Amino acid sequence: MCDFVNLSPADVKAVPGPHYVKDGFLKQDLFEALRAEFPGDEYFKQDADDSYAGGRTDLEFGKNGFDAFARQSTVWRDFVASVRTRRYAEYLLDVFSNHLHQGRPLRRDGFVFVPTSEYIRTDHPLGRRFAQWSKAHPIAGKRMDRVIYRSYHKIKGAFFPDHYYIVCQVAQSWSGYVQPAHRDTLDRGIVTLIYFNDPVAEGGGEGGEFGIFRLRDDAPKQTSTWAHPAHVEEVVRLSPRPNLGVGLLNTPSIYHSGEMFKAGTQPRKFMYIGVARLENACSW
């Protein structure tokens, strides 16, 4: 159990893939304290070189902007320290315990937790030379990447335990930010988003909903992170609102999106938390 989260296995829905939608995700007093000290633009600008297309910027654990912010906010520093633990990873694995066999299976027991002390960004399985070749030959490169990745980790998994760590990103997005229906890369196991404002009601913005999609029965086999709009069907659309938590188990059957957002006086404020494997990223 985690005493700062309101979540249980009963909150998980199985269709189109294991996921939950939970209002009041964090204990209310903790949420109010975090919301009151949500970082301002001055902290996000310190990592401006890593801005996402369309205006999203992240403060990610181990990078300069996050470190500067954490030094000024005890409540955020303590919260992130509580999230980045084996206890929290086990808690989320327990929440999804009835579904861990789906997709690329996650292990509830016997894994090694890696308490990383710095930012992690993985590369292609064969390193820079393969990445350069893959860029020059995108179709063949992606196919080889997946074959090598899956073969290597299937063999490794038979003899060695999985290594998991926690990804923490405090984020904001302004006008133009959009993420079409997609699946996260194979190294990501469980994904959680926590919203800290309602940018439409509070800031006069438009859009920015979170969508959950299923793969259509007549869709061809998917080998890309991104879904063609004709191959998926939306089953849930959620407007960001304070203390809404949305989470999913990263499986082939479920896609998610961040719809086009037009900001008013406020950005969309949220946090991304992921249980990830300590290995190279690769598409499905």
Mean pLDDT of 65-87: 92
- Please tell me the least confidently modeled range out of 54-63, 151-160, 267-276: 151-160
- Place 16 in a pLDDT band, splitting at 50, 70 and 90: very high
pLDDT exceeds 70 at position 52: no
At residue 126, the pLDDT reads 47
Across the chain, mean pLDDT equals: 84
- Place 1 in a pLDDT band, splitting at 50, 70 and 90: low
Say which residues have a Cβ less than 8 Å from residue 24's Cβ, sequence separation at least 6.
6, 243
* pLDDT tens column, 121-180: 544 444 555 556 555 656 655 565 556 656 665 666 666 678 899 999 999 998 888 889
**Beta bridge partners of residue 247, listed in sequence order:** 20, 192
* pLDDT tens column, 170-222: 999 988 888 899 998 888 999 999 999 999 999 999 999 999 999 998 988 87
At residue 224, the pLDDT reads 77
Interatomic CA distance for residues 69 and 54, integer angstroms? 23
State the pTM of this model.
0.84
pLDDT exceeds 80 at position 60: yes
Mean pLDDT of 19-48: 90
Mean pLDDT of 46-73: 74
Q: How many C-beta atoms surround the C-beta of residue 212 within 10 A?
A: 22
> Closest Cα to residue 171, out of 43, 31, 30?
43
195 sits in the region (left: phi over 0; alpha: psi -120 to 50; else beta) called beta
At residue 159, the pLDDT reads 67
- Please tell me the least confidently modeled range out of 13-27, 39-53, 175-189: 39-53
At residue 151, the pLDDT reads 65
Interatomic CA distance for residues 261 and 238, integer angstroms? 13
- Strands (E) in the chain, as ranges, are 19-23, 56-60, 112-113, 163-173, 179-182, 188-195, 206-207, 210-215, 232-238, 244-249, 254-258, 261-262, 268-277
Mean pLDDT of 25-46: 92
Phi, psi of 207 (to 5 degrees): 75, -150
pLDDT exceeds 70 at position 50: no
